[in-house]
Amino acid sequence: MKNTPKQGDEMTKQVEHEYSDKMIEAFIDKPEKTLWYRHAFSKFNVNGVDAMKWHWSWWAFFGSFFFLLYRKQYVPALVLFIASVTIGMVFPLSLVISILAGGYSTYFIYKGYKKQLLEVEANVEDVQKRVDTMREIAGFHQWVIWLYAVISIFFFGTFTFVLFGSFAR
């Protein structure tokens, strides 16, 4: 039995979808988060055209530039750090920065994925080697979570000491 052109197109789309899923999972390198990122990435790609859209992340909201650093998006992390330090000194503006980070940071992860994907596809022909290469060069920095925790504890401890230390007098 021959495949009709329609069946061939459906099979090709299925293979492309499976390949895309494998590459996203390799890039994220956390299988439990793949579905969330796959959903987010699908929002950012409209018929092959990239579009910056809102996709909420609590991690990005609370973690700010640490979230982007964790996901190896160094330039957006640096820009967000500079914005957080300069603009964020005023409380209402720091909240706006956090909200924007929570809504748009995932888009910058998507852009990083697309850049890595193009680079891997341009240099590696074998599909399995592409997946392995993506997993090797992408992923996340576990140390960022520890750094974020230490800095948060330091600032919370300092704030608590200043607040309650002044009451002790």
Q: For residue range 123-160, list pLDDT tens digits in order.
A: 999 999 999 999 999 989 999 989 999 998 998 888 88
Q: Could you list the residue range(s) of the whole structural domain that residue 105 is in?
A: 5-167
Give the pLDDT of residue 1: 47
% of residues, the chain, pLDDT over 70: 93
3-state secondary structure at position 50: strand
CA distance 52 to 41: 10
Retrieve residue 82's tokens.
Answer: 């500079």
C-alpha separations of 99 from 45, 56, 60, 104 in Å: 22, 9, 9, 9
Give the chain's domain count. Answer: 1
- Where in 43-153 does DSSP place strands (E)? 45-46, 49-50
CA distance 156 to 62: 14
- Mean pLDDT across the chain: 89
Is 0.85 surpassed by the pTM of this model?
no
The answer, yes or no, to whether residue 3 has pLDDT greater than 50, is yes
Q: For residue range 93-123, list pLDDT tens digits in order.
A: 889 999 999 999 999 999 999 999 999 999 9
Quote the DSSP letter at residue 2: P
pLDDT (average), residues 30-45: 94
Residue 156 phi/psi, 5-degree rounding, is -65, -45
